[in-house]
Amino acid sequence: MRSGRRERGMGQRRRRGRVGDERKRMRLGKRKKGSGSRQLGKEGWGCEKEGERWMTKGGDDAGEEKSKRNRKSITITPEKNITLTSFTKLPLPSTVASPESLAFDFLGEGPYTGVSDGRILKYIRLTESFIDFAYTSPNRTRAFCDGTTSLDKSPICGLPLGLGFNYFTGNLYSCDPFIGLTSVGPFGGLATTLVPTQDGVPYRFLIAVDVDTNGIVSFTDASAIYGPKDVEKSIQSGDSTGRVLRYDPKSKTVTTLLSQLSGAVGVATSSDASFLLVSEFIAKRVRRLAQRRESRHF
């Protein structure tokens, strides 16, 4: 009796096992049919690579298209489309022309910009207008200079091009090719000329300035031969006499960091003062220059 029951029980288990195996095969067959397979292989979800063509396990064309859609991809969608209507025009006074660069003070006020008649202007958001903030030349007069766009008057009126703030002191530095490197305090007025020359030789084309977190001033002389009146000649000749210079407010000395540059018209220092970038307009490139870390000068 016991042996008979044992045999019947084993037969039932075998039958149930065969039925279970058949059901599993049916389920797998349904998955593999078409492209619905979710088996993870080396090449992705439910697909395999044949030569250069991606196909599903089932191999049908509809499955191929669906498999492509199922493959993981990253799509970057801008949160907001940038159009011309996204910008606001800040109108300059009617007699002012040629704003060269922009700077914001440590409070975020501004922008400040230098213009062709020798003034540095500051934008006031409350009134939505620019006011006179500073000027670089001690010989400048309103009657002679206001509104001028003539470079012939720039040695008298000044020509502030590059601007850069020291956010710890509030001083605004300016590069003026006719006056030199200048600095003015937080309340504006006449700027102080710091270095009109280097080793007795006047600068030809000071144009860009930036101040790092240590208070060290980096600035560029676009050319040692050509000035603002001879930009076209500088480009046509492939001039490579530009320099990046460094001014230390504590020792009041200037050091040449990099020379033989082709139109050094821009400079920017890193947030930790570990390196600076300088752009070369003629050479169409940006160079990276590592710097030593210094203690802060205020």
223-268 per-position pLDDT tens digit: 999 999 999 999 999 999 999 999 999 999 999 999 999 999 999 9
Name the superfamily (CATH) of residues 84-290: TolB, C-terminal domain (2.120.10.30)
9-26 confidence digits (pLDDT tens): 555 555 555 555 555 555
> Contact, 223 vs 235, CB < 8 A?
no
Residue 7 structure tokens? 């045999």
> Contact, 247 vs 181, CB < 8 A?
yes
* Partner residues linked to 165 by β-bridges: 172
Distance CA 74, CA 77 (A): 10
Specify burial of residue 79 (Cβ count, 10 A radius: 0-12, 13-18, 19+). exposed
More confidently predicted of 232 and 40: 232
Residue in 136, 134, 195 with CA at minimum distance from that of residue 170 = 134
Average pLDDT over residues 62-77: 48
Which residues have a Cβ under 8 Å from the Cβ of 206 and sit 6 or more positions away?
161, 162, 175, 176, 177, 180, 181, 219, 220, 221, 222
pLDDT of residue 160: 96
Domain map of the chain by residue range?
A: 2-70, 84-290
pLDDT of residue 168: 93
Residue in 196, 176, 173 with CA at minimum distance from that of residue 112 = 173
User: Confidence class of residue 34 from pLDDT cuts 50, 70 and 90?
Assistant: very low
Q: Is 145 helix (H, G, I), strand (E, B) or coil?
A: helix
190-223 confidence digits (pLDDT tens): 999 998 877 777 889 999 999 999 999 999 999 9
70-122 confidence digits (pLDDT tens): 444 445 555 566 666 678 888 898 889 899 899 999 999 999 999 999 999 99
* Partner residues linked to 42 by β-bridges: none
Average pLDDT over residues 122-149: 95
Distance CA 189, CA 197 (A): 22
Distance CA 278, CA 42 (A): 46
In the predicted model, is pLDDT for residue 52 greater than 50?
no
155-192 confidence digits (pLDDT tens): 999 999 999 999 999 999 999 999 999 999 999 999 99
pLDDT of residue 186: 95
> Contact, 199 vs 193, CB < 8 A?
no
